[in-house]
Structure 1
Amino acid sequence: MFKEKKTHNQYSLKLKQSNHTLKYGRFGIKASSFSRLTNNQLNALKWIILKKLKFLTNNKKNTRFWVLLQMNLTLTKFNMESRMGKGKGSIYAHAVYIRPGMVLFEFDNIKEQQMKNLFNYISKKIPFKAILIK
């Protein structure tokens, strides 16, 4: 396994056009505010989505679901304002910065009403504002 790089540098806020359009599915969930998700939060969100999809589609296997987020930040124990010396601390989590306009999830082979129900359920669980796109 490769060694993780410790960094305090924030992810660049340049907007990539490829993150703003649907690539794979028919529906998508797009962020409309800045936020940060840790690896644990993202895994919990995936689990919630899969559980709700299974309930909405009556266990049909043909529903497809993509997660378009990659962890791009390592969180260390010491904060940026700590005094010099004694190192940076160990890595305790990985995170991803979310910018407005990023497509986070995409869905295919799901009806529009089912997708609206799923989005209403998910929007209460996530710590930022999001919109549903077609």
Structure 2
Amino acid sequence: MQIRKKTHNKEVIRGKRKFQFLNSGILGIKAISSGRLLKEKWEVTKRDLYKKIKFFCGGGRCKIWSTLEFNSTLTKLNVESRMGRGKGPIYSNSKFIREGKILIEFSQIPKHKQKEVLSFLQKKLGLRIKLVNL
């Protein structure tokens, strides 16, 4: 029997996972800190990363995998609206990232460009991240 800790948020706490394994690639980006990631911000970051990787590797040699699913919706009402009007329309989707989660995986990125990719993603995302090798 597993004891579940009751919390007020939607995430069930079953203990912190300090590690997660790479599934598809040889190199991965792992979150060290926890935080919320918006879908629009992730799409822009991923698009810019594809451009940068294409510039590094040339053709289609490098591959990128991402397994993030955005499972939470964020709603917002007007500032001047009165109480009793409901939650308001959905303005974005989000994902709560815990520490130890693999965000993105790569294959065949040159060794001398790996730190550049890490610093690029560190600036774009609001999380602390690190490189993980197979």
TM-score, structure 2 normalization = 0.80
**SS, match of residue 12 in structure 1:** coil
Identity %: 36
SS at match of 1:47: helix
* d(CA) in 1 for partners of 2:75, 2:96: 15
Question: For residues 15 and 48 of structure 1, what CA distance do their matches in structure 2 show?
Answer: 34
4+ residue segments displaced more than 6 Å: none
Structure 1: tracts of 5 or more residues without a match: 1-7
**Matches of 1:45 and 1:86, distance apart in 2:** 35
Distance 1:15 1:37 in 2: 21
Aligned equivalent of 2:47:
47
2:65 alignment partner AA: W
Local SS of the residue matching 1:114 = helix
User: Does the residue aligned with 1:66 lie in a helix, a strand or coil?
Assistant: strand
Residue 29, structure 1, aligned to residue 34, structure 2: no
TM-superposed deviation, 1:14: 3.9
Paired position in structure 2 for 1:89: 88
Number of residue-to-residue matches in the alignment: 123
Is 1:105 matched with 2:114?
no
Unpaired segments ≥5 residues, structure 2: 1-7
